[in-house]
Structure 1
Amino acid sequence: MRTLLKLCYFFSILFLTACGGKDAKKQYTQEKESTAAIETSEMEQESEIILFFGNSLTAGMGLDPEEAFPALVQNKLDSLDLDYTVINAGLSGETTAGGLNRLDWVLKQKVAIFVLELGANDGLRGTPLQETRSNLQSIIDAVLEKNPDTRIVLAGMQMPPNLGGDYTAEFRQLFPELAEKNNATLIPFLLEGVAGIPELNQPDGIHPTTEGQKIVANTVWQVLRPLVLKEALAQ
């Protein structure tokens, strides 16, 4: 099988907005790796595709691709002999608008499960929440238009309190509301048990370490496992 924040962390998380723009070479490399993974999956379509579509958290910024949580999810799938191929389509610095613009080339193959992990960079930039909501909905609509049978998994995120109580609360609710509207599966908070814990984050205080990624992978797996087992039984 192929291997293709606790709130105290919020005082440093604003750095995340620049994580994609300061290192163009890394971003270019991520794009090449993601494209190669998608092209490989086109040629090897006998297994079901789980596509992780997100930002630097999904990409595993600062780590080897094999240490990022999508690759760790692949390991869990393999250990159960489940015929799924994970594609990591994370891109550092990505916003919901950017994600919407690059979606077409990501959907070149049939996707069984689409894990949508975007919105954090919107919030950190103060993007109007209606715009973020609209972009996320448009991404979901495009995925389902391509294949109505694709299962959508939405990764929830939270914002720093210094952005204002109303904004923070509305941002937090955006994800469960979208999940309910679209009958999607929700990961309540992607960084549960990792955010704000120094030893589980890299020196920037934002991106998980190798050990932090393992916890994120477990959080994601708790949601994905029932889906993939249900699909396996239905086949």
Structure 2
Amino acid sequence: MSTRSIRAAAVVAATAAALLLAGCSPAPIQRPVAAVGTPVAAAGDSTPSEVVAIGDSIAFGKGVRPDQAWPALVADAQNWHLTDLAVSGSGFVHKGWNGTTFRQQVDQALRLRPDYILIAATRNDRDDDPAAVERACTQLLGELREAFPHARIIGTTAIWGSDTPPASVERVDAIAETAVTDVGGSFLDVGFPLVGHPEWLQPDGIHPNALGQDVVAKVVEAKLAPLDLAL
């Protein structure tokens, strides 16, 4: 098991027992791409900060309800208003179900006015040319920073399933970390909290079920807690 999964285990241990007791009900099947223009609104404050999420099917919440995806859970906890732009199968260079990459998600984000930008590294890029991933990642993060000089950019490592992740995933994470920190963003190493826990995954062994999404969200929230997120 990766040392990152050991570190992440400490974060989720306190919540795992309660989460397992809660279980999860079967969720309706979603379309494989987020419905742009249908953001998840945070409760409470009438004028919450705006956040966009850029990512893959796990950030999109494939197989669970939109409000059960980890970006929605984190946005709710932070009282942010979320527009989830994530697309199944996509990556910085890997083409998703509709033939698009993170390029198109960034283009959509550039038309919005986000206060926070969540951008998740993805397992989908693990088999692509690392040099191409690095070029695309660096370019897209640069464009986001240029367009939104005061926004908080928050990157995360890729989410893996219950089996042991290949080294290529950590290589993608390292590329994303460099690109995010180079533009003054914060990068969260969430480890591999789902490793060894098939009960937190859907039958495909890749996508978290509602319980797994909650575990991921709890780890992200724990990593965000020490940061000064004030704009």
Gaps of 5+ in 2: 3-29, 94-100
Question: 1:116 maps to what in 2?
Answer: 119
* Paired letter, 1:111: P
Structure 1 CA distance, aligned partners of 2:214 and 2:222? 12
CA contact (8 A) 2:164 2:195 kept: no
- SS of the aligned residue for 2:36 comes to helix
Using a 3 Å threshold, how does the CA distance of structure 1 residues 135 and 169 change in structure 2: closer, same or farther?
same
TM-score by length of 2: 0.71
* 1:96 and 2:97 are equivalent in the alignment: no
Structure 1 CA distance, aligned partners of 2:164 and 2:210? 27
* Paired letter, 1:112: D
How many residues align? The count is: 192
**Runs of 4+ off more than 6 Å:** 158-163
Question: 2:181 maps to what in 1?
Answer: 180
User: In the TM superposition, what is the alpha-carbon distance from 1:152 to its structure 2 partner?
Assistant: 1.2
* Paired letter, 1:109: L
* Paired letter, 1:26: R
CA contact (8 A) 1:94 1:118 kept: no
Structure 1 CA distance, aligned partners of 2:74 and 2:110? 20
* 1:142 and 2:143 are equivalent in the alignment: yes
Question: 1:152 maps to what in 2?
Answer: 153
User: In the TM superposition, what is the alpha-carbon distance from 1:203 to its structure 2 partner?
Assistant: 0.6
Structure 1 CA distance, aligned partners of 2:170 and 2:38? 39
User: In the TM superposition, what is the alpha-carbon distance from 1:230 to its structure 2 partner?
Assistant: 4.0
Pairing partner for 1:36 from 16, 23, 38: 38
CA deviation map 1:76-109 (0-9, x unaligned): 13xxxx4x21222211111213111342223222
- SS of the aligned residue for 1:133 comes to helix
CA contact (8 A) 2:153 2:186 kept: yes
TM-score by length of 1: 0.70
- SS of the aligned residue for 2:142 comes to helix
User: In the TM superposition, what is the alpha-carbon distance from 1:210 to its structure 2 partner?
Assistant: 0.9
Structure 2 CA distance, aligned partners of 1:92 and 1:207? 11
Identity across matched positions, percent: 20
Structure with the higher fraction of residues in helix conformation: 1
Question: 1:199 maps to what in 2?
Answer: 199
Question: 1:55 maps to what in 2?
Answer: 56
CA contact (8 A) 1:195 1:206 kept: no
RMSD in angstroms over aligned alpha carbons?
A: 3.0
